Amino acid sequence: MHLHKYEKIWLVFGIGSLVLFLVVLGVAAFAFGHQPPSHMASVDSQNLEESVFSEPGLEQINEDTYRARLIAMAFGYSPDTIEVPAGSTVIFEVTSQDVVHSFTIPGTNVNMMITPGHVNMAEYTFDEPGEYLVLCNEYCGTGHHYMQMKIEVTP
Ligand code: CUA
């Protein structure tokens, strides 16, 4: 079989790119442990009152670390405000009681989809005091654009 020179170059390039992609993916997954976030823990979205989300809110787990268990719903979050001192690391555990929402803190790398039945997790250290807005960026119904909460970071 005769292959034209350019055909060979493109074949090598194509197969080379594929191998490189798989190697990068493999190293990220197995050597660095990068996994798709969340979806590890599940919860019965029909029965949140009897789950760890029975009393959503903030809980201090050590000197400067807090866990915020929050429920997303059409069209808001419960609770709708949390307050932590600057320098705190907050571990967010968020679930939805109805449809898919998101939990997005603009200006940070916290941006996760909130799926009913799952405990979606993210972690963030609030170094700067101020008021942080949390928004939903998954269209979830007529009140989607009103869906928000606040994180107050006190000095
Ligand atoms: Cu919740 Cu959009």
CATH number of the domain that 81 lies in? 2.60.40.420
Cβ-proximal residues to 71 (8 Å cutoff; 6+ apart), any chain? 48, 53, 56, 77, 78, 94, 95, 96, 97
pLDDT (tens digit, 9 = 90+) per residue, 38-79? 457 888 888 888 888 999 999 999 999 999 999 999 999 999
142 near 76, Cβ under 8 Å?
no
Cβ-proximal residues to 134 (8 Å cutoff; 6+ apart), any chain? 77, 103, 104, 105, 148, 149, 150, 151
Say how many Å lie between the CA of residue 60 and the centre of ligand 1: 27
136 lines ligand 1 (CB under 6 A): yes
Residue span of the structural domain in which 5 resides: 1-35
Are residues 25 and 101 located together in one domain of the fold? no
Protein residue whose Cα sits closest to atom 1 of ligand 1: 101
Are residues 11 and 80 located together in one domain of the fold? no
What is the pTM (predicted TM-score) of this model?
A: 0.75
pLDDT (tens digit, 9 = 90+) per residue, 118-151? 899 999 999 999 999 999 999 999 999 999 999 9
98 lines ligand 1 (CB under 6 A): no
Are residues 28 and 48 located together in one domain of the fold? no
